[in-house]
Amino acid sequence: MTAAVVAGLLAGYGIAVPVGAVSAHLLSLTARTSLRTGACAALGVATADGVYALVAAVGGTALAAVLQPVLVPLRLLSALVLIAIAVAGAAAALRRYRSPATGATTRAAPSGPARAYLGLLGITLLNPTTVVYFTALVLGGRTTGAVRPLEQGAFVLAAFAASASWQLTLAGGGALLGRALTGPRGRLVTALASSVVIAALAVRMTTGPV
């Protein structure tokens, strides 16, 4: 159970920490509206991460028996996928830092907490990197024994809690925190930190069960 919680927390922070378009929008939204609206938007992002974690966990369990004969190669392949995600994220962050984009489009602020929640939920669900990340992580962490539903639930809830805590921190910071983290240096630091977390998960995956 503890291992599932730790894995979920690391997975949640690994996907949530990079400050990209969604995080920048969340910070800007909170600064323009209110903490309540920003908190609801933050929970929308975390809900999307939780949904993808649930899909990956349940799907991984269903495929466990089929994939059992190739479990070891699959773990190595999944570790390579995670390392690729980490490297790609770090490379993209370095490119953005060296050649910052100009003229970014600002989205219109939703009129209330409910619309903010649904809006950020929809935006985050459209990101295919999230489901690829969670699927690779969960499938790569399969062991020879069956994974209990309680452990699945612990993983999903921990991933949601990690994502929610980070998104709520961003929302709570408002305009001051947003100015610091959405600048070129802030984006670089958070993206590189996330890449390190993801790479560490990949290395751990090859040395033993998650």
Question: Poorest-confidence range of 1-5, 70-74, 154-158?
Answer: 70-74
Side-chain half-sphere of 207: how many Cα atoms within 13 Å?
A: 6
Categorize the per-residue pLDDT at 164 as very low, low, confident or very high, splitting at 50, 70 and 90. very high
pTM (2 d.p.):
0.65
Question: 50: closest CA among 124, 156, 136, 137?
Answer: 156
pLDDT at 104: 44
The helices-and-strands tally (H runs, E runs) of the chain is 8, 0
Report angle CA 117, 122, 128 to the nearest 5 degrees: 135
Element (H, E) at 102: none
